[in-house]
Amino acid sequence: MTNATQPHATAAYLGLAIGDALGATVEFMTPREIAAQYGVHKDLIGGGWLKLRPGQVTDDTTMALALGASILSAGRVDADAAARAFDTWMRGKPVDIGATVRRGLLAFRKTGVAKTPLSEHDAGNGAAMRVLPVALATLRLAEADVRAACRAQAHITHNNPLSDAATETLALMVRDALLGADKLALLHQRAHPLARLHPEFTFRATRQRQNPSGYIVETMQAVFQAFFDTDTFEDCLIDVVNRGGDADTTGAIAGMLAGAVYGPAGIPRRWLHGLDVATRNACEMQARELLEISA
């Protein structure tokens, strides 16, 4: 832990929510459609296919908060507690929910087993998008234990090697950043090793992956390009969401990484103040309390 760990953890959580709220406006649009309608999309204006209020977030943030709440009440990452929290979340009629998440939670409701069978097909980004509270709660654990905790929460709905690899990599990138690693270290110690282990994740240095789908490989390629090719929180998020596609989720994941690296000073005031107030408070509270239980 450094003096910057706490503020950067808070910025990562706010980044997740801001990226989600920013991207949701243009989710499922193409870059061409976004350009025609908005020029460059760069403000928290709501709308989109979900008809959101300005600053409102979607499942990416609310699932992370549900997971975080389960970790705080259990005192650790616990698959059963997380599955119950997700189930309660689903009963609350969230504004959006992924198909794999819904299928996994309906199965949990039926069987009570908080683990879905291995699937070669379910390589969606739904487990990766909600992993942040695990990274915070496990900050002082050994890397193998961080990876195990990531998989425990992931496998409630997504049990797939590519999803696992990405989810663990993202949590470890956040952890490294909170412990002081810079972007070059994250590139060489996390992003490149992921692509060596699973060549699907290989990405170019500059903008290539447009219109990324919810497939974890396309999501990660867009996030990595935007994150490593820009120098500020704001530029990173604007770059990634204007690619369209699963823009709320690429925005959420990029925002989490960028927040962890650049810290609170990097977050534009118009985005911080534009974010839904209850969401902002919940993110700030969980970031603080999750780091406390990591101690």
Instruction: Tell me the C-alpha distance between 196 and 169, whole Å.
Output: 12
- Pick the stretch among 2-10, 90-98, 146-154, 204-212 that binds Mn ion (CB under 5 A): 90-98
The residue with its CB nearest to Mn ion is 58
Q: Are 246 and 125 in contact (CB under 8 A)?
A: yes
Minimum CB separation from Mn ion for residue 186, in Å?
23
Kindly write out the interface string for residues 10-49 of this chain, putting x where it contacts Mn ion by CB under 5 A and - elsewhere: ----------------------------------------
Q: Which is nearer to Mn ion, 59 or 122 (CB)?
A: 59
Residue of 12, 55, 59, 133 that binds Mn ion (CB under 5 A): 59
Applying CB under 5 A, does 78 fall inside the site for Mn ion?
no
Residue of 168, 234, 239, 248 that binds Mn ion (CB under 5 A): 248
Q: Which is nearer to Mn ion, 28 or 38 (CB)?
A: 28
Applying CB under 5 A, does 60 fall inside the site for Mn ion?
yes
Q: Are 239 and 261 in contact (CB under 8 A)?
A: no
Q: Which is nearer to Mn ion, 63 or 162 (CB)?
A: 63
Minimum CB separation from Mn ion for residue 277, in Å?
20
- Pick the stretch among 157-165, 170-178, 183-191, 243-251 that binds Mn ion (CB under 5 A): 243-251
Applying CB under 5 A, does 61 fall inside the site for Mn ion?
no
* Site residue total, Mn ion (CB under 5 A): 7
Closest by CA to 137, choosing from 90, 92, 81, 197, is: 81
- How distant is the alpha carbon of residue 275 from its chain centre? 16
Minimum CB separation from Mn ion for residue 292, in Å?
28
Structure tokens at 184: 């070059």
Applying CB under 5 A, does 218 fall inside the site for Mn ion?
no
Q: Which is nearer to Mn ion, 176 or 246 (CB)?
A: 246
Q: Which is nearer to Mn ion, 96 or 284 (CB)?
A: 96
Applying CB under 5 A, does 276 fall inside the site for Mn ion?
no
Beta-bridged to residue 215, according to DSSP, are 124
Residues that bind Mn ion (CB under 5 A): 58-60, 96, 246, 248-249
